[in-house]
Each structure stands twice: as C-alpha cells, then as structure tokens.
C-alpha cells in the first residue's frame, strides 16, 4: 500500500463501518451512522474507496454489496508506518518514547506491553 492510498477522515469512517459490517450495502452503512447522511453522499465515498482499491462489490441487480479488499490490520500497519515516518523521524523508539512520556506509563505497564507484543509476534 503506497502513500497515495491514504484515506481522508471521512473515507476512514466509512471504511471502519465496512470492516465492521461487511458485506454491506450503502443503505446498511447509513443505518449504522448517527447523522444519517444522504444516500448519494455515502455512495460517492464508497465509489472513491473502490477506485482507491480498498473495497469491491458484488452486484445483485441494482443493489451493490460492498466488502473490503484491504484488512483493518493492513491499513493500521500502513498508517502507523506513515505516522512514524512523518512525525518521529522514522524511529519506532521515538514513537514509544513519546507514548511513554505522554501517557505517563510505568515500567510495569511498559513491560506488560512488551510481553503482549512478544506473544503476538510468535
């Protein structure tokens, strides 16, 4: 996934709904939203996501059912790498140091986090 595939905040919100409710129609996405935007607005966003390669659809007559082509984990990894590159000089150590300082993590909490990461990577 390259940086041209970055999502806007609105696109990310729609993508979150697709990840949570896939496969789904535009109407089903709107049902899950608090603000209930116009069908045409959400349909436009979904088509943009499709053009960017994040979702695809199956057509059932005039109804389109959308599903993700990019997993939430893949996008999260991509976003984190961009964050580290853009704000922490490409250093994960700088990111972790920032998080420890900003969130006032104790050594025990940091060790627990490290243990969780080790478990996930095995």
Per-residue model confidence (pLDDT) at position 89: 87
Q: Are 66 and 79 in contact (CB under 8 A)?
A: no
Per-residue model confidence (pLDDT) at position 119: 77
Please give the helix or strand (H or E) that residue 46 lies within, else none: helix 39-51
Q: Cβ–Cβ contacts within 10 Å for residue 41, how many? A: 13
Q: Are 65 and 24 in contact (CB under 8 A)?
A: yes
Q: How far apart are CA 113 and CA 98, in angstroms?
A: 15
Per-residue model confidence (pLDDT) at position 3: 43
Per-residue model confidence (pLDDT) at position 84: 84
Q: How far apart are CA 7 and CA 45, in angstroms?
A: 11
Per-residue model confidence (pLDDT) at position 31: 96
Q: How far apart are CA 87 and CA 82, in angstroms?
A: 8
Characterise 90 by phi-psi region: left (phi > 0), alpha (psi -120 to 50), beta (else): left
* 66 strand-pairing partners: 24, 57
- Please give the domain boundaries of the chain with CATH numbers for all domains: 7-68 (1.10.10.10), 72-120 (no CATH)
**Segments of the chain with pLDDT less than 70:** 1-4, 120-122
């Amino acid at each position: 996934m390259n940086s041209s595939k970055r999502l806007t905040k609105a696109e990310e919100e729609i993508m979150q709904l697709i990840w949570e409710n896939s496969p789904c129609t535009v109407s089903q996405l709107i049902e899950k939203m608090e603000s209930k935007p116009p069908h045409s607005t959400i349909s436009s966003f979904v088509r943009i996501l499709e053009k960017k390669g994040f979702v695809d659809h199956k057509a059932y007559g005039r109804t389109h059912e959308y599903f993700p082509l990019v997993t939430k984990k893949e996008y999260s990894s991509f976003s984190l790498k961009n964050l580290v590159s853009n704000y922490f000089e490409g250093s994960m150590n700088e990111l972790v140091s920032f998080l420890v300082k900003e969130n006032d993590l104790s050594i025990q909490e940091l060790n627990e986090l490290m243990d969780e990461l080790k478990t996930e990577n095995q």
